[in-house]
Structure 1
């Protein structure tokens, strides 16, 4: 259930830093575009785009188009790869998929549950793809 605007405002006032508020309430925030949410995450996590792109194994031009808002309909796998490259939590990844208008990770789906487990374990893309492959499901690509 969503919190009221007044409740969120009171929570914000009680925090010592915006980072604390953002990390705890990101699921309550609304973002208009994928690029807007990614910019917020990059800023909050003090990440550099080029490092994230390298860790996500995405084509450089394609990834920059996502970050700049020119690519507005990336695939679910590409967004999960970007999420792994950013070191996002499971909750942040689910929010990224939601902002991207993509289907949520579903625990009853074997592939999704492996991805969820790997996100919780903070596995990198290679480790995640090895785990997916070991269980005979499609890797992220």
Structure 2
């Protein structure tokens, strides 16, 4: 069974030697951690029954750019990543994990725009419906240019 982050942190805090750190990094506990966001996106979407073409269509992103994101040659912006997550019916937890792997900030409940996205994820809103709520609230839609 995969260790929880807190348990891993406790183990890491007890390490005092570089050799033990190397063993920790190579351990099975970190085996399922994702180094790149495209790996995680593909895994979650495949578990939902989506192939690459579905992922790109659901997210309403340009085909070429979508494939570049999914093969790891391009790193998506935070908004583009949110667009992929909302469009492909990620949960809030899955979305925050994707944001963390990509080194973007997780959805922040005190941020009004993020609050709308959290609401959308938790209520299963489509990408289009999410963008309507964002627009009606005076915020930039996901996928909208500056």
TM superposition score normalised by structure 1: 0.77
Greater helix share, 1 or 2?
A: 1
Query: Which residue of the partner structure matches residue 99 of structure 2?
Result: 97
Once residues 46 and 57 of structure 1 are traced to their aligned partners in structure 2, the CA distance between those partners, rounded to angstroms, is: 18
State the Cα distance separating 1:4 from its structure 2 match.
3.3
Give the unaligned 5+ runs of structure 1: 6-28
Q: How many residues align?
A: 117
Q: Could you list the runs of 5+ residues in structure 2 that have no partner in the other structure?
A: 9-31
1:4 aligns with 2:4: no
| Bigger RCO (CA 8 Å, 6+ sep) | 1
Query: How much is the aligned-residue C-alpha RMSD, in angstroms?
Result: 1.5
Given that 1:55 and 1:124 are in contact with CA atoms closer than 8 Å, whether structure 2 keeps it comes out as no
Equivalent of residue 70 in structure 2, options 67, 70, 78 = 67
Equivalent of residue 35 in structure 2, options 17, 32, 35: 32
Corresponding residue number in structure 2 for 1:132: 134
**Structure 1 residue ranges, 4+ long, deviating more than 6 angstroms after superposition:** none
Partners of 1:103 and 1:4 in 2: CA distance:
22
| The structure with more radius of gyration | 2
